[in-house]
Amino acid sequence: MAKIPVQFRLNGSDRAAFVDAPETLLNTLRRGLGDFAPKYGCGQGACGVCTVLIDGEPHLSCLTLSVACEGKRIETASGMADGPDLHPLQAQFMEHFAAQCGFCTPGMLTVARALLDRNPNPTRDEVIEAISGNICRCTGYEPIVAAILAAAGSPGMRRSEGGRHA
Amino acid sequence: MLEMRKDLFADERDDNLNVIGKGLQRQDMPGHVTGLTRYFDDHAFEGLLHLKVVRSPHASARIRSIDVAAAARAPGVRRVLRAADVPVNRNTLLSLIGFGKDDEPSLAVDKVHYKGEPVVAIIADSEAQALAAKKLVRIDYEPMPAVFDVEEALKPGAPVVNETYSANYFEYHERFDHQKLRFGDVERALASADMVLEHRYQMSPIEHAPTETNGSIAAPEQNGRFVVHSCAQGLFFALGTAAKIVALESNRLHFIGGTVGGGFGGKVDSLTEPLAVLGAMVTGKPVRFVLDREEEMLYGSPRGAERIYIKDGLMRDGRLIARHIRSYFDAGAYTRLSSYAAIKCTAHLPGPYWIPNVASDVHVAYTNRCPSTAMRGFGITAVDFALEVQMDRLAEAAQMDPMEFRLLNAYRDGDMKPHRRKASNTALIECVQVAAEKANWPISEQGKRQSSLTGGGVGERGQIPATVLDARGQIGRPETRNSGPTQTLPAGSSRIAPSKQPVMEGARDGRAAPAQVPRYEAARPAAAPLSPPPYQPAPSPYQPVTGQQPPPYQPPPAPPATAAPVQTQHGAVRFSSVFGRRR
Ligand code: FES
Ligand code: FES
């Protein structure tokens, strides 16, 4: 099968890959480009562990074709920290014990980041709404909600590169 | 009280353990929040191959023929594996500790025993190619009768689920058909009880549903070794299992793992490691075998469903005098860890209560369902649910507050357990006191003054009672494996139907004696002298209650004044977060 070239910006760097037409962005990121932050949990849009930002909007990479990402800005949890400095969401996830096995954490961080980019002071209900597509089997969600609310109030909240209001 | 065995661990560590009460950051947290944590699937390999299995669509069938020719020729397919390719194609997980017979193949040989059982494995360049080739495998099945109910499975003549255990029950030590506990004489105590309450509890199988599905990647290393990135919860357990099945010395397997994307017990079965290693051996390439979500939910082994019958003898003053438990573990088609679950269950009975007559029979039954395995307190949580629902029903029958009812019947330090061990570090009384306090649930002043430290082991509470022997001189009756859904009650007592409210039966005089006079193992204190005391039928300790009203709550002797600090209102000093102290 002939491979198709695709180029996009991944966490601030220009990247290119040759993909098969039916290949998912999740597969290209993980197996093609070695960014293992987005995870496979279901491959059918049910769990949210594969969530990435495409032009600042959260998308399920398991249901996104790589060829559709030509020229887009893609961000994953791997690109959240600024060098050694953690994003406030990352710091607050640590502080609030918002991860146990950690498998859902990259997806949770990603949807939370999109939320705070759009709405720097969300209510608790808005936080719950934002993470409602992401399954966590370990934490019971409360620490995650607390971490996101704490990050919203913390100084130093930065916008993601592709954020709408950036 | 935790005791440091300084004689054994003199060099192990000093005692300046000082982390309790401090907040500490977990060492794996930075990896989790930066996406740097590497789970088994987060490893890049050049030339990675993908393994998928063809699963049985039948719960029970004979395999007439398997045709893999078309699949083997399909694009991208490197290798097709069948049962004969697996070096040791029969295993049981606990064989690593010499427990149980090998009963489960990695790839089905000539029969399948549950829907979803792996039959053929396909290794291809891509997942899509492996999935496409799966569709080309032709397997001709002859469906056979299946059994899905634990009690049906144990009946004579039921379809044989698993040829290794042809009577459909796990055999302990190749002799015993179940886990048995006998303490005192349950049948006689039930006959003398004011009320008998029996209920049936049925649990469901529960899938762990971890966010990361089961899987592993095996790759050839130098020196004839293989590196295996595994999701296993018990990494060395998986290593030992894989080494046995692929017939390699275990030092040729290099397992890397411990970073598990949610396990909850569902990642102890080595579901993928043996075939991934075998794939790497036969192709010389890295091989990845990962369950997809559908496979995880349908064929990742669940918590076993349990059926539990509890029959209790209750006195009108609230004392529990007899408890008989009959329980069936649904192992599914193969043993995995159900044999261990039944042992845990038996060790846990009769719950945290001192009951002078206890009998239990816990069976592991094979059915044509997905094999079940470990899950968070398996063997314990289901029976605890049943026991505590039963306790609430009993409290209602005795017209007692459920908290007081538990205080009255709770284990105390020094009480003899049916396992012939003295209870120690008991804490139910304190738990009830703290729970009542936190829930603003009123309990009596007497109840608040109770303590697990006092009143235990007094008189018969510290004794092993006279225990019924069977015809062979072993603790025995009643036999229960093939008994009907309910048992015959001794003469003179009557059953309270599960759907009905319990009724007071009142004092009954002149109960008929049981038809056969049982033989007893004599009562003896915990530290039995070598020559047991002469045979003495234990006198029934229960006097029928004659009054119309239940007698007032009579706790065991009050603790000496010094036992509880005077400033505490509740007796709950040991574990109370309110007082922040323990004994
Ligand atoms: S893997 Fe994409 S939603 Fe589950
Ligand atoms: S921390 Fe395990 S799934 Fe969320």
A144 within 8 A of A108, measured Cβ to Cβ: yes
Q: Hey, which residues does B308 pair with through a beta bridge?
A: B201, B327
Rg (CA), chain B: 28
User: What is the rounded CA–CA span in Å between residue B28 and residue B26?
Assistant: 6
User: What is the rounded CA–CA span in Å between residue B328 and residue B361?
Assistant: 8
Q: List, for residues B280-307, the tens digit of each pLDDT value.
A: 999 999 999 999 999 999 999 999 999 9
User: What is the rounded CA–CA span in Å between residue B178 and residue B320?
Assistant: 25
CA angle A103, B217, B138 (to 5 degrees): 110
Residue A140 at interface with chain B, using a CB cutoff of 8 Å = no
User: What is the rounded CA–CA span in Å between residue B125 and residue B52?
Assistant: 11
Residue A49 CA: which ligand is closest? 1
Of the candidates B29, B35, B42, the beta carbon closest to that of A94 is on B29
User: How much distance in Å is there from the Cα of B485 to the middle of ligand 1?
Assistant: 45
Of the candidates A30, A35, A99, the beta carbon closest to that of B32 is on A99
Place of tokens 């048995």: B180
Are A109 and B33 in contact (CB < 8 Å)? yes
Query: What pLDDT is attached to residue B84?
Result: 98
User: What is the rounded CA–CA span in Å between residue A29 and residue A39?
Assistant: 10
With a CB-CB cutoff of 8 Å, which residues 27-56 of chain A face chain B?
30-31, 34-37, 39-44, 46-47, 49
pLDDT exceeds cutoff 70 at B393: yes
Query: What pLDDT is attached to residue B211?
Result: 97
Are A78 and B36 in contact (CB < 8 Å)? yes
Nearest CA of chain B to the CA of A108: how many Å?
Answer: 10
3-state secondary structure of A143: helix
pTM listed for this prediction: 0.84
Rounded to the nearest 10°, the torsion over CA B397, B400, B404, B409 is -40
User: How much distance in Å is there from the Cα of A48 to the middle of ligand 1?
Assistant: 5
Q: List, for residues B80-124, the tens digit of each pLDDT value.
A: 999 999 999 999 999 999 999 999 999 999 999 999 999 999 999
Of the candidates B25, B34, B261, the beta carbon closest to that of A90 is on B34
Per-residue tens of pLDDT for chain A, all 166 residues:
689 999 999 999 999 999 999 999 999 999 999 999 999 999 999 999 999 999 999 999 999 999 999 999 999 999 999 989 999 999 999 999 999 999 999 999 999 999 999 999 999 999 999 999 999 999 999 999 999 999 998 876 755 444 433 3
B107 within 8 A of B274, measured Cβ to Cβ: no
Are A101 and B210 in contact (CB < 8 Å)? yes
Reading the block at residue B275, the tokens are 């075939």
pLDDT exceeds cutoff 50 at B141: yes
Are B33 and A94 in contact (CB < 8 Å)? yes
Rounded to 5 degrees, what are φ and ψ at B238?
A: -65, -40
Residue A83 at interface with chain B, using a CB cutoff of 8 Å = no
- Counted across chains A and B, CB pairs separated by less than 8 A come out at 96
Query: What pLDDT is attached to residue B175?
Result: 86
What ipTM describes this predicted complex? 0.94
Q: List, for residues B469-499, the tens digit of each pLDDT value.
A: 766 666 655 455 555 444 443 333 333 333 3
User: What is the rounded CA–CA span in Å between residue B105 and residue B119?
Assistant: 9
